[in-house]
Amino acid sequence: MDRKGNYDEGGLGYGYLSFNQPRGKDLICRQYREIAREYRDFPSLKGYDRWNETQFTSFDRFTLKLFRNWLQENTGISPA
């Protein structure tokens, strides 16, 4: 996402909102806070699994950078 909220895949991507993109992370966290505020006193809600089905495939520049850093730190392999 760019600073105006427009989606910026940074290369390849599938249109998912990604925790790996700074703006995406901000939006996701804001949504979780709003959900918690909205339903905090809802009597029949005992829990909310915020990590359910958060897996996605992403090849945007943010995710690739994180993966390359992880690869270097954990295997010593330096990606091209």
For residue 34, what pLDDT is reported? 93
How many domains does the chain fold into? 1
Would residue 69 count as lying in a domain? Answer: yes
Residues 6+ apart with CB under 8 A from 59: 11, 12, 13
Contact by Cβ (8 Å): 10, 62: yes
Would residue 23 count as lying in a domain? Answer: yes
Q: Which residue has the higher pLDDT, 4 or 22?
A: 22
Would residue 49 count as lying in a domain? Answer: no
pLDDT band at 46 (very low <50, low <70, confident <90, very high): confident
Is pLDDT at 75 greater than 70 in this prediction? yes
pLDDT band at 5 (very low <50, low <70, confident <90, very high): low
Q: Which two tokens stand for residue 45?
A: 């809600």
Look up the domain containing 3 and give its range: 1-44+54-80
DSSP per-residue string spanning 46-57: ----TTTT----
Contact by Cβ (8 Å): 58, 20: yes
Instruction: Calculate mean pLDDT across residues 31-39.
Output: 90
Would residue 19 count as lying in a domain? Answer: yes
